[in-house]
Chains A and B, each alone.
Chain A
Amino acid sequence: MNAFKRKKNWYSSDRVMPKVLLGFSLISILTTFAIVFILLKESITFFSSVSVYDFFTGLKWEPLFAEPKFGVVPLILGTVMITFFSSIVALPVGLGSAIYLSEYAPDRVRTIVKPILEILAGIPTIVYGFFALTFVTPILQKIIPSTEVFNALSASIVVGIMIIPMISSLSEDAMMAVPRALRNGAYAVGSTKLEVAIKVVVPAALSGIIASFVLGLSRAVGETMIVALAAGLQPRISFNPLESIETLTAYIVQVSAGDIQYGSVEYLSIYAVGITLFAITLGMNLLANYISSKFREDYGG
C-alpha cells in the first residue's frame, strides 16, 4: 500500500475544477462563434436579394423607401467621419496626458489623476450621448449658428473624450515600460526633460502607443449610443461635420428599435451592416496586435 496513493474520488478538486473552468472559458468562445455564425447566416440571406457589389459601392442608403436602396457607403463614411474627428480630439490629448503622467507627474498627482481617468472610462456611453446632445451641441451652435441639432462634430468630440482614457492609459503603460536607464543615457548628454520624453521615451514606446491609437479608434468605430443620440440618423454623403449623418452602428439601433417587419430585407440589412462593422473593428484589433508584437522593443542590454 503506497502511503502517497491518490484517492480516487471523482470529485477530487484537481480533476473536476479544470473541466469546470474550461467550460467557463468555452462560453465566451462559443458566444463569439455564435455571433459570427448568425451574422454570416443572416447576411447571406440579405445578399441573396441585394448584390454584394451594390451593397459596398452604392451611394444611397434608403432602406425604407418604396424602392429601397442599400448602398452602405454613406454609413461607412459617417463612421469614418466620427472616427476621424474623434481621433483629432483623442490622439493628442491622450498622448499628451500619457506623457505628462509617465514623465512629469509626481507620484501624488499620478495616484489622483489615474483613478479619475478610469472613472471617465466607466461612464455609460448613453450618458456621454446626452452630454453631447444637451451640452456640447448648444455650445457648438453658439459658436457656429449653422450647426444642426444632430451633427457629427458634437458626437465626434464626445466620442473622442470617451476614448482618451484608453489611449492615455495604454500609452502610459508603454512609456512606463521604457527602462530608466534609457532616460539616464539621454539626461547624461544634456537632454532636457522634454527632449527625453519626445526623442527617447515616445520613440521607444512607439509600438505600444500606436497600438493604443488603433484600439482607441476601433472603439470609436464601434461606438453606438453617442452617435445614435447626437449625430443623427441621416445617411448621407457629407463632409460637413456640422450636418447630421448616420453611422453603421446608429443604423442598427434605428432598425432594432423601430417596427420593421421581422425577416424583411430591411430587417436583414442590419446583419450586413453588422458584419461590415465587425470586419472593420476586427481588422483594426488585429492591426493593433500586429503592430505591438512586430515592433516590440526588447530594450536590449
Chain B
Amino acid sequence: MIDIQSLDLFYGEFHALKNVSMFLPEKSITAFIGPSGCGKSTLLRTLNRMNDMIKTVKIKGTVTIHGNNIYEPEVNVELLRKRVGMVFQQPNPFPKSIYDNVAYGPRIHGTKKKSELDDIVEKSLRDAALWDEVKGDLKKSAYGLSGGQQQRLCIARALAVNPEVLLMDEPTSALDPISTLKIEELIQQLKEKYTIVIVTHNMQQAGRVSDQTAFFLNGEMVEFSETDTIFSNPVDQRTEDYVTGRFG
C-alpha cells in the first residue's frame, strides 16, 4: 500500500535519510525503531509531507500510496493529510471542547450538519476507546482530561476525517505506563481498519504492537522484516546490538 522507493532526504547539507526503500502492507502495524537522530521520525513525517514545512528540506525518490506518488507537484497536501492522519509525541489537543476537537477536521473538510458531526464525534471517540469516559462531558475543555485521555482524544481527532493511514510519532513517550498500555491495546484494535506506522523509542512496545519492524541507524534503514525476526533472529549485527540493548 505505501511504497517508499530510494528515498533520500536532506536538511540543508545534512543527509538525514539515505536511500530508503520499503513496502508497508495495508492494515498492518509497522514500527520504526532506532536511536535518537537515526531518521525514523523524519521518515514518518515524509509520509504525510509534514517535512514540507521545514524550508531547508530536500527530498529525492518516491513515496506512493495506492500507486499515487505523493511528491508529485500537483498533489494537494491537505487532501493527502486527510488520508494520512498523524498523532504526535506530546498530546496536542486544541484549547477547545472535547467535541470541537474531534469535529475540527470534519468541519474544515465541509461537514456542517449537526447530526452528521454528532455521529462522527461519537464514532471517532468510540474508535479511540474514549467515548465511555467522556460521553457526558463533550462540551468540557479538552484540557481537563488526563494526558492519556488527551492522547486518545488526539487519536479520535485524527480518525474523525476518516483516514486510511495513521502515523504515530512516539505516541506514548509522554504517558504513564497504564495510559501507555491503553494506547497500545487501542493500536491493536485500530489495525482492523487502518494502516499504522509507529515510531517508538521503546523496543518492548515495538515488540508488543507491531507486525513488522524497521531498524534505522544514521539515516540508513539497516534491517526491515517481521517483528519477531528483528527481535529474535536479526540478520545484521548492528540490529542485534541495538535490540539487545548494547547501544542506543
Is A185 a contact partner of B154 (Cβ separation < 8 A)? yes
Is A188 a contact partner of B85 (Cβ separation < 8 A)? yes
Is A301 a contact partner of B108 (Cβ separation < 8 A)? no
Is A185 a contact partner of B108 (Cβ separation < 8 A)? no
Taking A185-B154, A301-B150 as contacts, is the C-beta distance between A190 and B105 under 8 angstroms?
yes
Is A200 a contact partner of B94 (Cβ separation < 8 A)? yes
CB-CB nearest in chain B for A188: B86
Is B50 a contact partner of A185 (Cβ separation < 8 A)? no
Q: Could you say which residues of chain A place their CB within 8 Å of the CB of B78?
A: 190-192
Is B85 a contact partner of A186 (Cβ separation < 8 A)? no
Taking A199-B104, A300-B142 as contacts, is the C-beta distance between A189 and B157 under 8 angstroms?
yes
Give chain A nearest CB distance to B89 CB in angstroms.
9
Is B161 a contact partner of A186 (Cβ separation < 8 A)? no
Q: Could you say which residues of chain B place their CB within 8 Å of the CB of A200?
A: 94, 104
* B 79-94 to A, binary, CB cutoff 8 A, 1 in contact else 0: 1111001111011111
Taking A184-B50, A184-B88, A189-B81 as contacts, is the C-beta distance between A298 and B143 under 8 angstroms?
yes
Q: Could you say which residues of chain A place their CB within 8 Å of the CB of B79?
A: 190
- Total contacting residues, chain A, CB less than 8 A: 22
Contact with A300, one of B85, B88, B143 (Cβ below 8 angstroms): B143
A301–B101 Cα gap in the complex (Å)?
14
Question: A-B pairs with CB below 8 Å: how many?
Answer: 79
* A 233-251 to B, binary, CB cutoff 8 A, 1 in contact else 0: 0000000000000000000
Taking A184-B50, A300-B150, A301-B150 as contacts, is the C-beta distance between A189 and B104 under 8 angstroms?
yes
Contact with A186, one of B82, B91, B104, B150 (Cβ below 8 angstroms): B104
Is B92 a contact partner of A181 (Cβ separation < 8 A)? yes
Task: Decide if A118 is an interface residue (CB 8 Å cutoff).
Answer: no
Is A203 a contact partner of B96 (Cβ separation < 8 A)? yes
A189–B95 Cα gap in the complex (Å)?
16
Is A184 a contact partner of B92 (Cβ separation < 8 A)? yes
Q: Could you say which residues of chain A place their CB within 8 Å of the CB of B92?
A: 179, 181-182, 184-185, 301
CB-CB nearest in chain A for B163: A189
Give chain A nearest CB distance to B233 CB in angstroms.
36
Is B81 a contact partner of A188 (Cβ separation < 8 A)? yes
Task: Decide if A24 is an interface residue (CB 8 Å cutoff).
Answer: no
Is B50 a contact partner of A301 (Cβ separation < 8 A)? no
Q: Could you say which residues of chain A place their CB within 8 Å of the CB of B160?
A: 189
Task: Decide if B53 is an interface residue (CB 8 Å cutoff).
Answer: yes
Contact with B108, one of A182, A191, A298, A299 (Cβ below 8 angstroms): A191
Of B53, B95, B104, most A-chain CB atoms within 10 Å: B95
Q: Could you say which residues of chain B place their CB within 8 Å of the CB of A187?
A: 50, 53, 81
Task: Decide if B214 is an interface residue (CB 8 Å cutoff).
Answer: no
CB-CB nearest in chain A for B108: A195
Is B86 a contact partner of A301 (Cβ separation < 8 A)? no
Q: Could you say which residues of chain B place their CB within 8 Å of the CB of A190?
A: 78-82, 105, 108-109, 161
Task: Decide if B213 is an interface residue (CB 8 Å cutoff).
Answer: no
A188–B101 Cα gap in the complex (Å)?
13
- Tell me which residues from 182 to 209 in chain B have a Cβ below 8 Å from any Cβ of chain A: none
Is A185 a contact partner of B143 (Cβ separation < 8 A)? no
A204–B95 Cα gap in the complex (Å)?
6
Contact with A185, one of B53, B82, B157, B161 (Cβ below 8 angstroms): B157
Is A186 a contact partner of B94 (Cβ separation < 8 A)? yes
Taking A184-B88, A204-B94, A301-B150 as contacts, is the C-beta distance between A189 and B82 under 8 angstroms?
yes
* B 58-91 to A, binary, CB cutoff 8 A, 1 in contact else 0: 0000000000000000000011111001111011
A297–B144 Cα gap in the complex (Å)?
12
Task: Decide if B48 is an interface residue (CB 8 Å cutoff).
Answer: yes
Give chain A nearest CB distance to B146 CB in angstroms.
10
Is A182 a contact partner of B94 (Cβ separation < 8 A)? yes
Q: Could you say which residues of chain B place their CB within 8 Å of the CB of A191?
A: 78, 108
* B 34-71 to A, binary, CB cutoff 8 A, 1 in contact else 0: 00000000000000101001000000000000000000
A298–B142 Cα gap in the complex (Å)?
12
Is B93 a contact partner of A300 (Cβ separation < 8 A)? yes
Is A301 a contact partner of B91 (Cβ separation < 8 A)? yes
Give chain B nearest CB distance to A190 CB in angstroms.
4
Task: Decide if B158 is an interface residue (CB 8 Å cutoff).
Answer: yes
Given A182-B92, A188-B86, A189-B105, output 5 extra A-B contacts at Cβ < 8 Å: A189-B81, A190-B161, A200-B94, A200-B104, A204-B94
8 A-B pairs whose Cβ atoms sit less than 8 Å apart in the complex: A185-B88, A187-B50, A187-B81, A190-B79, A190-B105, A200-B104, A298-B143, A301-B91
Give 6 closest A-B pairs by Cβ, nearest first.
A190-B82, A189-B105, A300-B143, A188-B86, A181-B92, A190-B81
Interface residues of A (CB under 8 A from B): 179, 181-182, 184-192, 195, 199-200, 203-204, 297-301
